[in-house]
Structure 1
């Protein structure tokens, strides 16, 4: 099974983005699984991209679920798109999604991305989607729905974005066998 048809069966990770109080937090677990075996428990699936040299360009933080090599290929392409779009995340995301869907090589890449520049928060897929989630929360990966539900339940609390992301990831790690509690967190101001 290849390309976008493989998305529903992925077993891999949990990435969540939470936008609240003028901050966006991306958090991801560190587990890398091959079948039913944990290969690594401390992978970094959330990272800052090289900022665009364009005046006024903002830092971009990205989290990925799926094939690591495929995700790195997409992250490199996103960096190039950000440079070409003078650091405008929305424009770069749409251009990447178009290429991802149309290019024969790229459309077979099996990964999903959550990207943010602190203002915008998007989920990018190989189906050509650039989705801006409702309620300021985005989640992908095998534990994504657990983390999403937990974060939505916590959004009305007094917790800040980081505390919500951490609690949501802890809940996902308790439920999803492909998610661990070794969390990487990156925060970016809105």
Structure 2
């Protein structure tokens, strides 16, 4: 994935006390220009059973969401297996190999980071982040997890807010989803 493709957003997923929240900022950048501030880069899939967020090319991220839904159907709803199958196809299939995005997906039991190199990563501490401001949001969420009583949604909101204060490719117009929505 080229550097310009990943400088497009911040996506953060947090698990705490049996709850999960996934959020992203709304900024879309092309090079050093902000072209939109209110994009929605997180969504619910599989009739609300899966939360998904992407960083990188919007068209590629949306395609990956569609592919994951198809995989879920083909494996009888087995979340982990569908994610592994998607990552495998993404790496091996010539049609998908050029998709320039990263994904974080979550069900009620686990959160996974998926990449086009075949990565399927589950965080040890329940926090995953991708995109240009991902490391800022990840650091903020980890610190707040240890030193605050915020719930999963509050940690995502605070982490994205802090990332937006540091990363020029991240804004403060966020969308946060959880299974309570």
Fold shared by both chains (TM-score > 0.5) = yes
Select between 154-163 and 169-178 the one with higher mean Cα deviation. 154-163
Q: 1:49 & 1:7 partners in 2: Cα distance? A: 28
- SS of 1:17's partner is strand
For structure 1, which runs of at least 5 residues remain unmatched after alignment? 52-57
Structure 1 residues 24 and 7: CA distance shift in structure 2, 3 A: farther
Shift of 1:115: 0.2
* Counterpart contact for 1:7–1:110, Cα < 8 Å: no
**What is the aligned partner in structure 1 of residue 132 from structure 2?**
142
Q: 2:3 & 2:71 partners in 1: Cα distance? A: 24
Q: 2:159 & 2:108 partners in 1: Cα distance? A: 20
- SS of 1:75's partner is helix
Aligned residues: 179
RMSD, matched Cα? 1.4
Cα distance per residue 1:39-67 (max 9 Å; x no partner): 1100000100133xxxxxx7001000000
**What is the aligned partner in structure 2 of residue 45 from structure 1?**
41
Length-normalised TM-score, structure 2 = 0.95
Residue 61 of structure 1 is aligned with which of 40, 47, 51? 51
**What is the aligned partner in structure 1 of residue 156 from structure 2?**
165
- SS of 1:101's partner is helix
Shift of 1:7: 5.7
* Counterpart contact for 2:5–2:57, Cα < 8 Å: no
* Counterpart contact for 2:5–2:101, Cα < 8 Å: no
For structure 2, which runs of at least 5 residues remain unmatched after alignment? none
Cα distance per residue 1:98-146 (max 9 Å; x no partner): 0000011211110000000121100000000000012100000000000
Length-normalised TM-score, structure 1 = 0.90
Shift of 1:10: 2.4
Q: 4+ residue runs of structure 1 moved beyond 2 angstroms?
A: 6-10
